[in-house]
Structure 1
Amino acid sequence: MATLRQQLLDLIDTLAPDMERAFLEAIADIKSEIVLKEVVERLERRDIAGAIEALHIDPAAFRPLSEAIRQAFNSGGVLTTGRMPRLTDPMGGRVVFRWDVQNQAAEAMIRDLSSALITSIEEDTRQMVREKMEAGFAKGQGPNTIALDIAGRVSKVTGKREGGLLGVTLNLSRTVERARTALSSGDVEGMKHYLTLGRRDKRFDAQVRKAIAAGKPLNQEAVAKITGRLTDRYVQLRAETIARTETMTSVMSAKHEAFQQALSKSNRDASLVTRKWRSAGDRRVRHTHVILNGQEVRGMDLAFQSPSGALLRYPGDQSLGAGPSEIIACRCDVEYNFDFAEAFARSRGR
């Protein structure tokens, strides 16, 4: 039988596509509700704050992500509980423990996970949009062009907006804008750099190489198509990153909560629990987590300390301030050992 660790990793693989779809659905919903005329009118008045509001970047649009987080959290708790070592109370009596996703602490964790993710996406998106608008005016772009670059252009085939910066991170939007500037201006070095981007649509490479050889810019229609495809692929990249990271965080948070619930049900003290960090054990593990591997702490609340200074109670834990460099694409695990479990040997590797 597969270990709990492997089963949890399989669960993350199974549920991540749901999280990915939830993010893409949210972005598509925001784009579908944009009335470009409203955005353009505000930009014509140089009312950047008003133009941002006209995009309706509303936290409620990301509700599908909240549902995906709840699903991952509950599934992680159910799986962990099903593999829990047999427990006894202080008198030696058998403890029957069932996962409770409606437990007050569990509900609070779900709310915190959802709120942290959605707030981060909303704030980053608003900052990205503001920067694009300000930069667009600085370059002499018209309100309509700025609005279309952000919202996307309606496809004649699908009737939906494609290629807009909405859904792209602030940092990746800067990459797109550098490519747009280079392709529009004929900047040879900038166009050469575009050809190094891993997510570019290579079907346009011949066109770009021709422009490089001639030392001339591409026409605006070609630039819009090229940067539009690059943007779409960056939105997909962000969806994949969010899906893997947030599903892992939700599942590992639920695992921690399941052991906490088991402690409470058993009327046992948390000092009887030891937790050991386990890395994935391959070359893809980030350096800080290689060093963390094997580190052991006692109790449920004491955090592991990364060499970077970040504190984490379990992989994916952001509640103590750990940043993206310690969280994104993590595949580590924490082994929980109950000193009072009758089946102590079976708890190892969990």
Structure 2
Amino acid sequence: MPLPHSYLEDIAARLEPGMREAFLKAVRALRAQADPARIAALLENGDVDGVLDAIGLNDPAWLNSFRAAMAEGFVAGGQETHAGVRGLIIDAISQDILPPGSDARLLASFGIRNLPAEKALRDYGMGLIREIDDNTRDGVRTFLEDGMEAGRNPVQSALDLCGRIGESGEREGGILGLTETQARSVQRARDELASTDAPTLRRYLGRELRDRRYDAAVLRAIRSGEPIPEAIQEKAGTAYSNRYLRYRAEVMSRTESLRSASVGQHAALLNAVATGALPYGSIRRFWMDTDDERTRVWHKEIPDLNPDGVSLEEPFVTPLGPLLYPRDPEGEAENIIQCRCWMQIRLTGSGNRWLDMLAFPVPG
């Protein structure tokens, strides 16, 4: 019986909240161990590398909980695909597309103890953790260097980096955990809130992630020409930073929960071929776009660019470069982030006979 075409999305929906919380928990742990006084002293000496070391960003172990959540997605995608391949093989045997006994060659279950799967997880995991770690470290470095260049007080910079103790007893509002672009956006928002220039304040009101509870204070400042009270500036800036961190966690978990399952899917297909359960060259993969308003325009073109499908290890042709499968970790960010496309996996046999592993969605 074919698997539902959305099975990877179903896995991702199940794992996404845990992956999001794993990243936020990791950032909270970094902030909790940070010592603003020590960071300020290091900044007095211009020692940005010392700050990175002091807050634990020179050791990627801070992302271990996120790495574990990512591995869970990989295994889940592999296991579901393995079950789908087994069903596909059994159906193919019954229709004389594959010889009897083909199912016996398939591994009893999918896991990371076999070398191909272990390598796939290691390569994907190392690349992802390095990317997240580098982006986070770049965010801190750029923020601190910009602050030193602008003559910002080291104590202020340290608190803006780590956050201030909030009502929850945890540090809130720091840029720690954000990318370079996001950290700069937070600092610009704080600068806008500190301004008395009406056009500058209006720019703040155009920020999608702002906390609208403080809009009235901004509008009063625009009308009066008086500065926003510092306490409100701080609350609005903290809220904006918190929302940006959550936004990063949401985008990352939405992308990586589905991508980790996709990497596991591909590893399971490679395993089936490696064991001889599926003949090499018998698999054709077809790109299927989600065909809604959220789908990238150029992703709707990919099926027509690959009308005959591609083999198991052949990349799809896309307008932004080759992709081995949707959300391929080797692809360009703008081609894969939050992509929801899927693949039809087809087993081909002699005499133009074939079977699909996934059920097509019923048109609504």
User: What are the equivalent positions in structure 2 for 1:176-255 lying under 5 Å apart?
Assistant: 176-255=186-265
Instruction: Give, in angstroms, the shift of residue 32 of structure 1.
Output: 0.9
Letter in 1 for 2:46: R
Instruction: Give, in angstroms, the shift of residue 170 of structure 1.
Output: 1.6
Q: Which moved more, 1:221-230 or 1:240-249?
A: 221-230
Give the match for residue 122 of structure 2.
111
- 8 Å CA contact 2:103–2:277 kept in 1: the answer is no
- Match for residue 347 of structure 2 among 327, 338, 342: 338
Letter in 1 for 2:260: S
Superposed CA deviations along residues 194-249 of structure 1, whole A, max 9, x for unmatched, are 11212111111101111111223323332221111001001101111111100111
Q: Distance in 2 between matches of 1:239 and 1:196?
A: 22
Q: Distance in 2 between matches of 1:270 and 1:17?
A: 37
Letter in 2 for 1:12: A
**Residue 154 (structure 2) pairs with residue 154 (structure 1):** no
Q: Distance in 1 between matches of 2:222 and 2:137?
A: 34
Q: Distance in 2 between matches of 1:338 and 1:169?
A: 43
Give the match for residue 16 of structure 1.
16
Letter in 2 for 1:140: G
Instruction: Give, in angstroms, the shift of residue 345 of structure 1.
Output: 3.1
Q: Distance in 1 between matches of 2:358 and 2:217?
A: 58
- Match for residue 313 of structure 2 among 294, 301, 306: 301
Instruction: Give, in angstroms, the shift of residue 140 of structure 1.
Output: 2.4
Superposed CA deviations along residues 172-197 of structure 1, whole A, max 9, x for unmatched, are 22221111112113232221111121
Letter in 2 for 1:195: L
- Judging changes above 3 Å, is the alpha-carbon distance between structure 1 residues 336 and 222 closer, same or farther for their aligned structure 2 residues? same
- 8 Å CA contact 2:347–2:356 kept in 1: the answer is no
| TM-score of the aligned structures, taking structure 1 as reference length | 0.92
Q: Distance in 1 between matches of 2:22 and 2:302?
A: 33
Instruction: Give, in angstroms, the shift of residue 9 of structure 1.
Output: 1.5
Q: Distance in 2 between matches of 1:8 and 1:140?
A: 50
**Residue 338 (structure 2) pairs with residue 325 (structure 1):** no
Q: Distance in 1 between matches of 2:286 and 2:2?
A: 19
Structure 2 unaligned residues grouped into runs of 5+: none
Instruction: Give, in angstroms, the shift of residue 252 of structure 1.
Output: 0.9
**Residue 162 (structure 2) pairs with residue 142 (structure 1):** no
Superposed CA deviations along residues 76-114 of structure 1, whole A, max 9, x for unmatched, are 111112222025697543323233322212111212222
- 8 Å CA contact 2:259–2:328 kept in 1: the answer is yes
Instruction: Give, in angstroms, the shift of residue 7 of structure 1.
Output: 2.3
Superposed CA deviations along residues 19-44 of structure 1, whole A, max 9, x for unmatched, are 10111111011111111121111011
Q: Distance in 2 between matches of 1:268 and 1:15?
A: 29
Q: Distance in 2 between matches of 1:47 and 1:298?
A: 52
Instruction: Give, in angstroms, the shift of residue 73 of structure 1.
Output: 0.8
- Judging changes above 3 Å, is the alpha-carbon distance between structure 1 residues 27 and 166 closer, same or farther for their aligned structure 2 residues? same
- Judging changes above 3 Å, is the alpha-carbon distance between structure 1 residues 49 and 297 closer, same or farther for their aligned structure 2 residues? same
Q: Distance in 2 between matches of 1:82 and 1:182?
A: 55
SS in 2 for 1:334: strand
- Judging changes above 3 Å, is the alpha-carbon distance between structure 1 residues 263 and 240 closer, same or farther for their aligned structure 2 residues? same
Q: Distance in 2 between matches of 1:227 and 1:108?
A: 43
**Residue 70 (structure 2) pairs with residue 69 (structure 1):** yes
Q: Distance in 2 between matches of 1:176 and 1:114?
A: 29
Give the match for residue 50 of structure 2.
50
**Residue 257 (structure 2) pairs with residue 257 (structure 1):** no
Q: Distance in 2 between matches of 1:217 and 1:173?
A: 23
Q: Distance in 2 between matches of 1:220 and 1:130?
A: 26
SS in 1 for 2:290: coil
Instruction: Give, in angstroms, the shift of residue 261 of structure 1.
Output: 1.1
Question: Which gives a bigger RCO, structure 1 or 2 (Cα 8 Å, sep 6+)?
Answer: 2
Q: How well do the aligned residues superpose, as a CA RMSD in angstroms?
A: 2.1
Q: Distance in 1 between matches of 2:156 and 2:238?
A: 13
Q: How many equivalent residue pairs?
A: 345
Percent identical among aligned pairs is 30
Structure 1 unaligned residues grouped into runs of 5+: none
Q: Distance in 2 between matches of 1:325 and 1:46?
A: 35
| TM-score of the aligned structures, taking structure 2 as reference length | 0.89
Q: Distance in 2 between matches of 1:162 and 1:347?
A: 47
- Judging changes above 3 Å, is the alpha-carbon distance between structure 1 residues 172 and 268 closer, same or farther for their aligned structure 2 residues? same
Give the match for residue 327 of structure 2.
316
